[in-house]
Structure 1
Protein backbone atom coordinates (compact mmCIF):
# COMPACT_ATOMS: atom_id res chain seq x y z
CA UNK A 1 0.00 0.00 0.00
CA UNK A 2 2.77 2.47 0.93
CA UNK A 3 4.82 1.85 -2.20
CA UNK A 4 1.69 2.40 -4.31
CA UNK A 5 1.14 5.79 -2.66
CA UNK A 6 4.79 6.62 -3.44
CA UNK A 7 4.16 5.95 -7.13
CA UNK A 8 1.03 8.10 -7.11
CA UNK A 9 2.93 10.98 -5.48
CA UNK A 10 5.83 10.67 -7.89
CA UNK A 11 3.49 10.87 -10.87
CA UNK A 12 1.59 13.75 -9.28
CA UNK A 13 4.68 15.81 -8.42
CA UNK A 14 6.03 15.48 -11.96
CA UNK A 15 2.80 16.86 -13.41
CA UNK A 16 1.19 20.28 -13.14
CA UNK A 17 3.69 23.13 -12.74
CA UNK A 18 6.62 20.69 -13.01
CA UNK A 19 5.57 19.11 -16.31
CA UNK A 20 8.56 18.81 -18.64
CA UNK A 21 11.00 20.27 -16.08
CA UNK A 22 13.00 17.07 -15.74
CA UNK A 23 13.04 17.46 -11.93
CA UNK A 24 13.56 14.12 -10.21
CA UNK A 25 11.52 12.95 -7.21
CA UNK A 26 13.30 11.04 -4.44
CA UNK A 27 12.00 9.25 -1.36
CA UNK A 28 15.28 8.78 0.52
CA UNK A 29 15.94 10.31 3.90
CA UNK A 30 17.44 13.80 3.28
CA UNK A 31 20.55 13.28 5.38
CA UNK A 32 23.87 15.09 5.00
CA UNK A 33 25.33 12.15 3.07
CA UNK A 34 22.38 12.07 0.67
CA UNK A 35 22.59 15.85 0.12
CA UNK A 36 26.32 15.57 -0.63
CA UNK A 37 25.74 12.90 -3.31
CA UNK A 38 23.07 14.68 -5.31
CA UNK A 39 24.20 16.53 -8.45
CA UNK A 40 20.91 17.79 -9.93
CA UNK A 41 17.76 19.58 -8.75
CA UNK A 42 15.44 17.19 -6.93
CA UNK A 43 12.22 17.19 -4.93
CA UNK A 44 12.51 14.96 -1.89
CA UNK A 45 9.38 13.38 -0.37
CA UNK A 46 10.50 11.70 2.82
CA UNK A 47 7.94 9.51 4.60
CA UNK A 48 8.57 10.28 8.27
CA UNK A 49 5.38 9.13 10.02
CA UNK A 50 2.71 6.42 9.67
CA UNK A 51 -0.24 6.20 12.02
CA UNK A 52 -3.88 5.16 11.96
CA UNK A 53 -6.61 7.77 11.63
CA UNK A 54 -8.78 6.32 14.40
CA UNK A 55 -11.52 8.87 13.73
CA UNK A 56 -12.30 7.02 10.48
CA UNK A 57 -12.44 3.54 12.01
CA UNK A 58 -15.75 1.74 11.36
CA UNK A 59 -17.36 -1.45 12.65
CA UNK A 60 -19.54 -4.03 10.97
CA UNK A 61 -19.30 -5.45 7.46
CA UNK A 62 -19.36 -4.13 3.90
CA UNK A 63 -20.96 -5.98 0.95
CA UNK A 64 -18.82 -6.95 -2.04
CA UNK A 65 -20.85 -7.09 -5.27
CA UNK A 66 -20.12 -8.71 -8.63
CA UNK A 67 -20.80 -7.28 -12.09
CA UNK A 68 -24.51 -8.15 -11.73
CA UNK A 69 -24.76 -6.17 -8.47
CA UNK A 70 -25.22 -9.39 -6.47
CA UNK A 71 -23.59 -9.59 -3.03
CA UNK A 72 -20.98 -12.37 -3.24
CA UNK A 73 -18.80 -11.56 -0.22
CA UNK A 74 -18.71 -9.48 2.92
CA UNK A 75 -15.67 -7.82 4.42
CA UNK A 76 -14.74 -5.60 7.30
CA UNK A 77 -14.47 -1.85 6.60
CA UNK A 78 -10.92 -0.75 5.69
CA UNK A 79 -8.62 0.85 8.23
CA UNK A 80 -7.37 4.35 7.34
CA UNK A 81 -3.74 5.40 7.81
CA UNK A 82 -2.17 8.83 7.62
CA UNK A 83 1.12 8.85 5.68
CA UNK A 84 3.06 12.04 6.46
CA UNK A 85 5.70 13.20 3.97
CA UNK A 86 8.32 15.91 4.42
CA UNK A 87 8.58 17.56 0.97
CA UNK A 88 11.73 19.61 0.33
CA UNK A 89 13.43 21.12 -2.70
CA UNK A 90 17.18 20.72 -3.32
CA UNK A 91 19.02 23.00 -5.74
CA UNK A 92 22.18 25.16 -5.66
CA UNK A 93 20.54 28.36 -4.44
CA UNK A 94 17.78 29.14 -1.90
CA UNK A 95 15.92 31.21 -4.50
CA UNK A 96 15.69 28.23 -6.86
CA UNK A 97 14.54 26.02 -3.98
CA UNK A 98 11.78 28.49 -3.16
CA UNK A 99 10.65 28.55 -6.79
CA UNK A 100 10.61 24.77 -6.83
CA UNK A 101 8.60 24.59 -3.61
CA UNK A 102 6.16 27.11 -5.07
CA UNK A 103 5.71 24.88 -8.12
CA UNK A 104 5.15 21.85 -5.89
CA UNK A 105 2.55 23.73 -3.88
CA UNK A 106 0.75 24.87 -7.04
CA UNK A 107 0.74 21.26 -8.26
CA UNK A 108 -0.64 19.74 -5.04
CA UNK A 109 -3.25 22.32 -4.00
CA UNK A 110 -5.86 21.42 -6.68
CA UNK A 111 -5.80 17.79 -5.50
CA UNK A 112 -7.78 17.78 -2.28
CA UNK A 113 -8.74 14.17 -2.94
CA UNK A 114 -7.64 11.48 -5.40
CA UNK A 115 -10.51 9.66 -7.11
CA UNK A 116 -10.45 5.82 -7.29
CA UNK A 117 -9.67 6.07 -11.02
CA UNK A 118 -6.40 7.91 -10.19
CA UNK A 119 -5.21 5.18 -7.82
CA UNK A 120 -3.45 1.88 -8.45
CA UNK A 121 -5.67 -1.16 -8.96
CA UNK A 122 -5.51 -2.50 -5.39
CA UNK A 123 -6.44 0.88 -3.89
CA UNK A 124 -8.87 1.92 -6.61
CA UNK A 125 -10.77 -1.37 -6.25
CA UNK A 126 -12.03 -0.19 -2.86
CA UNK A 127 -13.94 2.60 -4.59
CA UNK A 128 -12.85 5.20 -2.02
CA UNK A 129 -11.32 8.63 -2.59
CA UNK A 130 -7.98 9.38 -0.92
CA UNK A 131 -7.73 12.84 0.70
CA UNK A 132 -4.54 14.92 0.53
CA UNK A 133 -3.59 17.71 2.92
CA UNK A 134 -0.63 19.94 2.07
CA UNK A 135 1.00 22.52 4.37
CA UNK A 136 -1.64 21.97 7.05
CA UNK A 137 -1.33 22.46 10.78
CA UNK A 138 1.35 20.16 12.16
CA UNK A 139 -0.35 18.16 14.90
CA UNK A 140 1.96 15.16 15.23
CA UNK A 141 3.82 14.45 18.44
CA UNK A 142 7.17 15.20 16.78
CA UNK A 143 7.98 18.69 15.57
CA UNK A 144 9.74 19.35 12.25
CA UNK A 145 12.78 20.61 14.15
CA UNK A 146 13.04 17.26 15.93
CA UNK A 147 12.76 15.43 12.61
CA UNK A 148 15.58 17.47 11.07
CA UNK A 149 17.68 16.91 14.19
CA UNK A 150 17.14 13.15 13.89
CA UNK A 151 18.19 13.30 10.23
CA UNK A 152 21.39 15.07 11.21
CA UNK A 153 20.81 18.00 8.89
CA UNK A 154 20.01 21.68 9.07
CA UNK A 155 16.44 22.96 9.05
CA UNK A 156 15.17 23.69 5.54
CA UNK A 157 11.89 25.11 4.15
CA UNK A 158 9.50 22.21 3.65
CA UNK A 159 5.90 21.27 2.94
CA UNK A 160 4.10 18.82 5.18
CA UNK A 161 2.05 16.48 2.96
CA UNK A 162 -0.42 14.04 4.53
CA UNK A 163 -2.08 11.30 2.47
CA UNK A 164 -4.85 9.37 4.23
CA UNK A 165 -5.24 5.97 2.59
CA UNK A 166 -7.52 2.97 3.24
CA UNK A 167 -5.93 -0.39 3.96
CA UNK A 168 -8.14 -3.48 3.38
CA UNK A 169 -9.05 -5.45 6.49
CA UNK A 170 -8.93 -9.22 5.90
CA UNK A 171 -10.36 -11.81 5.61
CA UNK A 172 -13.37 -11.72 3.28
CA UNK A 173 -16.40 -13.87 4.13
CA UNK A 174 -18.43 -15.72 1.52
CA UNK A 175 -22.06 -14.58 1.30
CA UNK A 176 -24.99 -16.98 0.96
CA UNK A 177 -26.86 -17.30 -2.35
CA UNK A 178 -29.34 -14.48 -3.07
CA UNK A 179 -33.05 -15.00 -2.35
CA UNK A 180 -34.90 -15.28 -5.66
CA UNK A 181 -38.39 -16.45 -4.53
CA UNK A 182 -40.89 -15.11 -2.01
CA UNK A 183 -41.92 -17.05 1.08
CA UNK A 184 -45.01 -19.33 0.98
CA UNK A 185 -47.21 -19.63 4.07
CA UNK A 186 -49.34 -22.74 4.61
CA UNK A 187 -52.57 -21.94 6.47
CA UNK A 188 -54.03 -24.87 8.43
CA UNK A 189 -57.68 -25.64 7.60
CA UNK A 190 -60.50 -25.83 10.15
CA UNK A 191 -62.52 -28.92 11.17
CA UNK A 192 -60.29 -31.39 9.45
CA UNK A 193 -59.87 -29.48 6.18
CA UNK A 194 -56.44 -30.04 4.61
CA UNK A 195 -53.93 -27.19 4.78
CA UNK A 196 -54.22 -24.80 1.91
CA UNK A 197 -51.29 -23.02 0.29
CA UNK A 198 -51.77 -19.35 -0.30
CA UNK A 199 -49.26 -19.38 -3.17
CA UNK A 200 -47.86 -16.09 -1.97
CA UNK A 201 -46.31 -14.61 1.12
CA UNK A 202 -48.50 -13.22 3.93
CA UNK A 203 -47.81 -11.26 7.04
CA UNK A 204 -48.93 -12.79 10.39
CA UNK A 205 -51.82 -10.33 10.87
CA UNK A 206 -53.13 -11.15 7.39
CA UNK A 207 -53.17 -14.90 8.18
CA UNK A 208 -54.99 -14.26 11.47
CA UNK A 209 -57.61 -12.14 9.71
CA UNK A 210 -58.23 -14.87 7.12
CA UNK A 211 -58.76 -17.47 9.86
CA UNK A 212 -61.19 -15.21 11.75
CA UNK A 213 -63.22 -14.59 8.60
CA UNK A 214 -63.44 -18.35 7.95
CA UNK A 215 -64.62 -19.03 11.51
CA UNK A 216 -67.27 -16.29 11.17
CA UNK A 217 -68.56 -17.78 7.90
CA UNK A 218 -68.76 -21.27 9.44
CA UNK A 219 -70.66 -19.82 12.43
CA UNK A 220 -73.30 -18.25 10.18
CA UNK A 221 -73.69 -21.56 8.31
CA UNK A 222 -74.29 -23.49 11.57
CA UNK A 223 -76.90 -20.95 12.71
CA UNK A 224 -78.76 -21.26 9.39
CA UNK A 225 -78.74 -25.06 9.64
CA UNK A 226 -80.25 -24.95 13.13
CA UNK A 227 -83.07 -22.61 12.07
CA UNK A 228 -83.85 -24.78 9.05
CA UNK A 229 -84.05 -27.89 11.25
CA UNK A 230 -86.61 -26.27 13.66
CA UNK A 231 -88.95 -25.36 10.77
Structure 2
Protein backbone atom coordinates (compact mmCIF):
# COMPACT_ATOMS: atom_id res chain seq x y z
CA UNK A 1 0.00 0.00 0.00
CA UNK A 2 2.81 2.46 0.85
CA UNK A 3 4.49 2.14 -2.53
CA UNK A 4 1.10 2.58 -4.23
CA UNK A 5 0.55 5.87 -2.36
CA UNK A 6 4.07 6.94 -3.38
CA UNK A 7 3.26 6.25 -7.02
CA UNK A 8 -0.04 8.15 -6.84
CA UNK A 9 1.69 11.19 -5.32
CA UNK A 10 4.38 11.06 -7.99
CA UNK A 11 1.79 10.96 -10.78
CA UNK A 12 -0.16 13.80 -9.14
CA UNK A 13 2.90 16.06 -9.01
CA UNK A 14 3.95 15.11 -12.54
CA UNK A 15 0.46 15.99 -13.83
CA UNK A 16 0.75 19.33 -12.03
CA UNK A 17 3.88 20.17 -14.02
CA UNK A 18 6.26 20.10 -11.08
CA UNK A 19 8.94 18.20 -13.02
CA UNK A 20 9.09 20.74 -15.85
CA UNK A 21 12.47 22.34 -16.39
CA UNK A 22 14.51 19.29 -15.38
CA UNK A 23 13.28 19.11 -11.79
CA UNK A 24 13.85 15.74 -10.09
CA UNK A 25 11.17 14.15 -7.90
CA UNK A 26 12.48 11.76 -5.24
CA UNK A 27 11.33 10.08 -2.04
CA UNK A 28 14.73 10.15 -0.32
CA UNK A 29 15.19 11.44 3.23
CA UNK A 30 16.70 14.96 2.96
CA UNK A 31 19.75 14.35 5.16
CA UNK A 32 22.75 16.67 5.28
CA UNK A 33 24.87 14.35 3.13
CA UNK A 34 22.06 13.89 0.62
CA UNK A 35 21.57 17.65 0.30
CA UNK A 36 25.29 18.17 -0.31
CA UNK A 37 25.14 15.88 -3.35
CA UNK A 38 22.22 17.70 -5.01
CA UNK A 39 23.25 19.45 -8.23
CA UNK A 40 19.84 19.81 -9.94
CA UNK A 41 16.55 21.30 -8.71
CA UNK A 42 14.82 18.60 -6.66
CA UNK A 43 11.57 18.02 -4.79
CA UNK A 44 11.76 15.50 -1.95
CA UNK A 45 8.59 13.75 -0.73
CA UNK A 46 9.88 12.01 2.39
CA UNK A 47 7.68 9.58 4.36
CA UNK A 48 8.59 10.17 8.01
CA UNK A 49 5.67 8.68 9.97
CA UNK A 50 2.99 6.02 9.67
CA UNK A 51 0.16 5.22 12.10
CA UNK A 52 -3.20 3.47 12.03
CA UNK A 53 -6.32 5.62 12.04
CA UNK A 54 -8.11 3.73 14.83
CA UNK A 55 -11.24 5.88 14.49
CA UNK A 56 -11.93 4.26 11.11
CA UNK A 57 -11.42 0.67 12.24
CA UNK A 58 -14.39 -1.58 11.43
CA UNK A 59 -15.34 -5.16 12.13
CA UNK A 60 -16.84 -7.36 9.44
CA UNK A 61 -16.27 -8.96 6.07
CA UNK A 62 -16.41 -7.73 2.50
CA UNK A 63 -17.27 -10.10 -0.35
CA UNK A 64 -15.72 -10.26 -3.81
CA UNK A 65 -17.79 -11.35 -6.82
CA UNK A 66 -16.93 -12.74 -10.23
CA UNK A 67 -18.45 -11.72 -13.56
CA UNK A 68 -21.49 -13.98 -12.91
CA UNK A 69 -22.24 -12.39 -9.54
CA UNK A 70 -21.05 -15.38 -7.48
CA UNK A 71 -19.04 -14.89 -4.29
CA UNK A 72 -15.46 -16.02 -4.94
CA UNK A 73 -13.66 -14.64 -1.86
CA UNK A 74 -14.16 -12.86 1.42
CA UNK A 75 -11.80 -10.50 3.20
CA UNK A 76 -11.97 -8.58 6.45
CA UNK A 77 -12.62 -4.86 6.17
CA UNK A 78 -9.43 -2.89 5.42
CA UNK A 79 -7.34 -1.11 8.03
CA UNK A 80 -6.80 2.61 7.50
CA UNK A 81 -3.42 4.25 7.95
CA UNK A 82 -2.25 7.85 7.95
CA UNK A 83 1.01 8.45 6.10
CA UNK A 84 2.88 11.66 6.95
CA UNK A 85 5.18 13.14 4.29
CA UNK A 86 7.62 16.03 4.44
CA UNK A 87 7.69 17.87 1.08
CA UNK A 88 10.72 20.09 0.47
CA UNK A 89 12.34 21.86 -2.49
CA UNK A 90 16.09 21.99 -3.12
CA UNK A 91 17.88 24.44 -5.43
CA UNK A 92 20.90 26.76 -5.23
CA UNK A 93 18.83 29.84 -4.35
CA UNK A 94 16.09 30.27 -1.72
CA UNK A 95 13.91 32.17 -4.20
CA UNK A 96 13.96 29.23 -6.60
CA UNK A 97 13.19 26.82 -3.76
CA UNK A 98 10.17 28.90 -2.75
CA UNK A 99 8.93 29.00 -6.34
CA UNK A 100 9.30 25.24 -6.69
CA UNK A 101 7.67 24.52 -3.33
CA UNK A 102 4.79 26.84 -4.26
CA UNK A 103 4.19 24.83 -7.45
CA UNK A 104 4.07 21.60 -5.44
CA UNK A 105 1.74 23.17 -2.87
CA UNK A 106 -0.63 24.43 -5.57
CA UNK A 107 -0.80 20.92 -7.03
CA UNK A 108 -1.42 19.20 -3.67
CA UNK A 109 -4.16 21.53 -2.39
CA UNK A 110 -6.19 21.18 -5.60
CA UNK A 111 -7.99 18.11 -4.22
CA UNK A 112 -8.96 16.57 -0.88
CA UNK A 113 -8.34 13.07 -2.22
CA UNK A 114 -6.03 11.32 -4.65
CA UNK A 115 -7.81 11.00 -8.02
CA UNK A 116 -9.00 7.47 -8.70
CA UNK A 117 -7.26 7.39 -12.09
CA UNK A 118 -3.89 7.64 -10.32
CA UNK A 119 -4.44 4.71 -7.97
CA UNK A 120 -2.81 1.37 -8.74
CA UNK A 121 -2.68 -2.14 -7.28
CA UNK A 122 -4.78 -2.83 -4.20
CA UNK A 123 -5.83 0.80 -3.86
CA UNK A 124 -7.42 0.66 -7.31
CA UNK A 125 -9.11 -2.70 -6.63
CA UNK A 126 -10.63 -1.56 -3.34
CA UNK A 127 -12.15 1.50 -4.98
CA UNK A 128 -12.09 3.50 -1.72
CA UNK A 129 -11.33 7.19 -1.32
CA UNK A 130 -7.71 7.95 -0.39
CA UNK A 131 -7.84 11.19 1.57
CA UNK A 132 -5.32 13.99 1.16
CA UNK A 133 -4.64 16.74 3.71
CA UNK A 134 -2.03 19.37 2.90
CA UNK A 135 -0.38 21.70 5.45
CA UNK A 136 -2.95 20.83 8.10
CA UNK A 137 -2.46 20.56 11.86
CA UNK A 138 0.36 18.13 12.63
CA UNK A 139 -1.33 15.69 15.01
CA UNK A 140 -0.38 12.10 15.77
CA UNK A 141 3.13 12.30 14.28
CA UNK A 142 6.53 13.73 15.22
CA UNK A 143 6.82 17.48 14.91
CA UNK A 144 8.62 18.92 11.89
CA UNK A 145 11.42 20.22 14.11
CA UNK A 146 11.97 16.72 15.52
CA UNK A 147 12.11 15.32 11.99
CA UNK A 148 14.78 17.82 10.96
CA UNK A 149 16.77 17.05 14.11
CA UNK A 150 16.65 13.33 13.34
CA UNK A 151 17.79 13.99 9.78
CA UNK A 152 20.77 15.97 11.04
CA UNK A 153 20.03 19.03 8.94
CA UNK A 154 18.86 22.60 9.37
CA UNK A 155 15.19 23.46 9.10
CA UNK A 156 13.92 24.90 5.84
CA UNK A 157 10.47 25.62 4.36
CA UNK A 158 8.45 22.42 3.98
CA UNK A 159 4.90 21.20 3.47
CA UNK A 160 3.42 18.63 5.86
CA UNK A 161 1.34 16.23 3.77
CA UNK A 162 -0.98 13.57 5.22
CA UNK A 163 -2.49 10.71 3.21
CA UNK A 164 -5.15 8.39 4.69
CA UNK A 165 -5.17 5.11 2.77
CA UNK A 166 -6.68 1.63 3.28
CA UNK A 167 -4.57 -1.51 3.65
CA UNK A 168 -6.29 -4.57 2.14
CA UNK A 169 -6.09 -7.88 3.98
CA UNK A 170 -5.48 -11.24 2.29
CA UNK A 171 -8.70 -12.75 0.90
CA UNK A 172 -10.14 -16.10 1.97
CA UNK A 173 -11.39 -18.10 -1.00
CA UNK A 174 -15.06 -19.04 -0.83
CA UNK A 175 -16.28 -22.59 -1.42
CA UNK A 176 -17.32 -23.20 -5.04
CA UNK A 177 -20.99 -23.01 -5.88
CA UNK A 178 -22.91 -26.32 -5.77
CA UNK A 179 -23.81 -27.32 -9.33
CA UNK A 180 -24.23 -31.11 -9.08
CA UNK A 181 -27.47 -32.82 -8.17
CA UNK A 182 -28.23 -35.05 -5.19
CA UNK A 183 -26.91 -38.63 -5.06
CA UNK A 184 -29.82 -41.04 -4.49
CA UNK A 185 -29.80 -44.84 -4.12
CA UNK A 186 -33.04 -46.86 -3.89
CA UNK A 187 -33.25 -50.38 -2.41
CA UNK A 188 -35.96 -52.76 -1.31
CA UNK A 189 -34.32 -53.03 2.05
CA UNK A 190 -31.24 -51.59 3.69
CA UNK A 191 -28.56 -54.21 4.40
CA UNK A 192 -27.72 -54.36 8.07
CA UNK A 193 -24.99 -53.72 8.75
CA UNK A 194 -24.19 -51.87 5.51
CA UNK A 195 -20.81 -52.83 4.13
CA UNK A 196 -18.72 -52.13 1.08
CA UNK A 197 -19.84 -55.44 -0.44
CA UNK A 198 -23.51 -54.57 0.16
CA UNK A 199 -23.08 -51.17 -1.43
CA UNK A 200 -21.36 -52.73 -4.44
CA UNK A 201 -24.20 -55.25 -4.80
CA UNK A 202 -26.77 -52.43 -4.71
CA UNK A 203 -25.25 -50.95 -7.84
CA UNK A 204 -24.06 -47.45 -8.62
CA UNK A 205 -25.86 -44.43 -7.21
CA UNK A 206 -27.84 -42.15 -9.47
CA UNK A 207 -27.41 -38.40 -9.58
CA UNK A 208 -30.57 -36.35 -9.71
CA UNK A 209 -30.51 -33.34 -11.97
CA UNK A 210 -33.18 -30.69 -11.85
CA UNK A 211 -33.25 -29.56 -15.44
CA UNK A 212 -36.05 -27.12 -16.02
CA UNK A 213 -37.24 -27.36 -12.40
CA UNK A 214 -37.69 -24.38 -10.16
CA UNK A 215 -37.04 -24.82 -6.42
CA UNK A 216 -39.89 -23.92 -4.10
CA UNK A 217 -39.80 -22.81 -0.50
CA UNK A 218 -39.65 -26.45 0.66
CA UNK A 219 -37.11 -27.52 -2.02
CA UNK A 220 -37.67 -29.72 -5.06
CA UNK A 221 -40.09 -32.11 -3.33
CA UNK A 222 -43.41 -32.70 -5.06
CA UNK A 223 -46.49 -31.13 -3.41
CA UNK A 224 -48.35 -33.51 -1.10
CA UNK A 225 -51.58 -33.55 0.80
CA UNK A 226 -51.13 -32.56 4.43
CA UNK A 227 -53.59 -34.16 6.90
CA UNK A 228 -55.81 -31.83 8.94
CA UNK A 229 -56.28 -32.14 12.69
CA UNK A 230 -59.45 -34.03 13.83
CA UNK A 231 -62.60 -31.95 13.53
CA UNK A 232 -61.18 -29.59 10.96
CA UNK A 233 -62.42 -29.52 7.36
CA UNK A 234 -61.24 -28.02 4.16
CA UNK A 235 -63.11 -25.18 2.59
CA UNK A 236 -66.10 -26.54 0.67
CA UNK A 237 -65.61 -30.09 2.00
CA UNK A 238 -67.01 -32.31 4.75
CA UNK A 239 -65.35 -32.62 8.20
CA UNK A 240 -62.55 -35.17 8.40
TM-score by length of 2: 0.75
Deviation at 1:110? Answer: 1.6
1:138-217 → structure 2 map (5 Å cutoff):
138-175=138-175, 177=177, 181-184=215-218, 189-190=226-227, 215-217=232-234
Whether the 8 Å CA contact 2:90–2:97 is kept in 1: the answer is yes
Task: State the secondary structure of the residue aligned to 1:59.
Answer: coil
Cα deviations by residue, 1:107-153 (Å, 9 ceiling, x for unpaired): 11123112443211332011112111111111124211111111111
1:88-167 → structure 2 map (5 Å cutoff):
88-167=88-167
Q: Going by fraction, where is strand more abundant, 1 or 2?
A: 1
Q: Which residue of 2 aligns with 1:35?
A: 35
Whether the 8 Å CA contact 1:74–1:175 is kept in 2: the answer is no
- Whole-Å separation in 1 of the counterparts to 2:81 and 2:137: 17
1:19-98 → structure 2 map (5 Å cutoff):
20-98=20-98
Task: State the secondary structure of the residue aligned to 2:81.
Answer: strand
- Whole-Å separation in 2 of the counterparts to 1:183 and 1:115: 47
Moved more, 9-18 or 49-58: 9-18
Deviation at 1:81? Answer: 1.1
Cα deviations by residue, 1:69-95 (Å, 9 ceiling, x for unpaired): 322221101111111110001111111
- Structure 1 unmatched ranges of 5 or more: 191-210, 224-231
Whether the 8 Å CA contact 1:17–1:106 is kept in 2: the answer is no
- Structure 2 unmatched ranges of 5 or more: 180-213
After superposition, the CA RMSD in angstroms is 2.6
- Whole-Å separation in 2 of the counterparts to 1:7 and 1:218: 74
Over 3 Å counting, the alpha-carbon distance change for 1:162 and 1:64 in structure 2 is same
Deviation at 1:222? Answer: 4.1
Over 3 Å counting, the alpha-carbon distance change for 1:182 and 1:94 in structure 2 is farther
TM-score by length of 1: 0.78
Whether the 8 Å CA contact 2:86–2:158 is kept in 1: the answer is yes
